[in-house]
């Protein structure tokens, strides 16, 4: 009976070998616990893209849980971003008129830089992340594009946070 109990206890402890609580942050970001996210910039003609991108980045960081959101004076790092491109491509067209688009694809590119909070000249990580969504070009194309914008930005922000939190 003691041998069985000892075996079960040994297997229980051995099954947890190598496991550690928390995320598997990249080694060069191990000291970063909190991030400040100022308003992103917008190089496109899409209105409110900078505020949607900033909100998406904060939401993605909060959902991931690897880093805390902090103010500029208490943060270990500052995440600066810029919505640099929005590309549209036709997915499907009308059967009667091939120039009449029925479904479009929107791809958004965000360029971002993670700077050290105590020394802004020191760049901890930088990159480009993109997000794509599809939408139907119904009655009003402008409204359809505006409605698709938050989804594409959410996907780009999740890609950015995955790189910051997991290294890929």
Cα-to-chain-centroid distance, residue 27: 19
Helical spans, DSSP H, in the chain: 2-15, 49-64, 141-166
CB atoms within 10 A of CB 61: 23
Query: What is the per-residue pLDDT for 67?
Result: 95
Tokens of 163: 């790189």
Tell me the pLDDT band of 111, cut-offs 50, 70 and 90.
very high
Q: Specify if 121 maps to a domain.
A: yes
Q: Specify if 51 maps to a domain.
A: yes
Task: Show the 3-state SS of 84-117.
Answer: EEEEEEEEEECCCCCCCEEEEEEEEEEEEEEEEC
Structural domain count of the chain? 1
Query: What is the per-residue pLDDT for 26?
Result: 87
Taking 70 as the threshold, does the pLDDT of residue 116 lie above it? Answer: yes
Q: Specify if 13 maps to a domain.
A: no
Q: Specify if 24 maps to a domain.
A: no
Tell me the pLDDT band of 40, cut-offs 50, 70 and 90.
very high
Per-residue model confidence as pLDDT tens digits over 122-140: 999 999 999 999 999 878 8
Stretch 144-156: mean pLDDT: 95
Mean pLDDT for the chain?
A: 89
**In the block, residue with structure tokens 């939190």:** 165
Read off the pTM: 0.82
Q: Specify if 127 maps to a domain.
A: yes
Out of 17-21, 26-30, 111-115, which region has the weakest mean confidence (pLDDT)?
Answer: 17-21
Per-residue model confidence as pLDDT tens digits over 152-167: 999 999 999 999 998 8
* CATH code assigned at 47: 3.40.50.10610
Query: What is the per-residue pLDDT for 123?
Result: 96
Q: Specify if 79 maps to a domain.
A: yes
Per-residue model confidence as pLDDT tens digits over 76-107: 999 999 999 999 998 888 777 777 788 999 99
User: What sign results for the dihedral spanned by CA atoms 52, 57, 62, 63?
Assistant: positive
Higher pLDDT, 23 or 129: 129
Q: Which residues constitute the domain of residue 129?
A: 32-166
């Amino acid at each position: 009976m003691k041998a069985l109990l000892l075996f079960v206890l040994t297997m229980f402890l051995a099954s947890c070998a190598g496991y550690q609580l928390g995320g598997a942050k990249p080694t060069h970001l191990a000291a970063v616990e909190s991030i400040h996210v100022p308003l992103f910039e917008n190089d496109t003609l899409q209105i409110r893209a900078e505020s949607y991108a900033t909100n998406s980045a904060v939401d993605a960081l909060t959902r991931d849980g690897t880093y805390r959101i902090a103010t500029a004076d208490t943060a270990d790092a500052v995440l600066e971003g810029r919505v640099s491109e929005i590309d549209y491509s036709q997915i499907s067209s009308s059967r009667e008129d091939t120039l009449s688009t029925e479904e479009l694809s929107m791809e958004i590119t965000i360029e971002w830089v993670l700077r050290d909070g105590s020394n802004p000249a020191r760049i901890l990580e930088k990159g480009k992340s993109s997000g794509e969504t599809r939408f139907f070009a119904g009655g009003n194309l402008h409204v359809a594009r505006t409605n698709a914008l938050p989804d594409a930005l959410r996907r780009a922000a999740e890609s950015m946070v995955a790189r910051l939190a997991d290294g890929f």
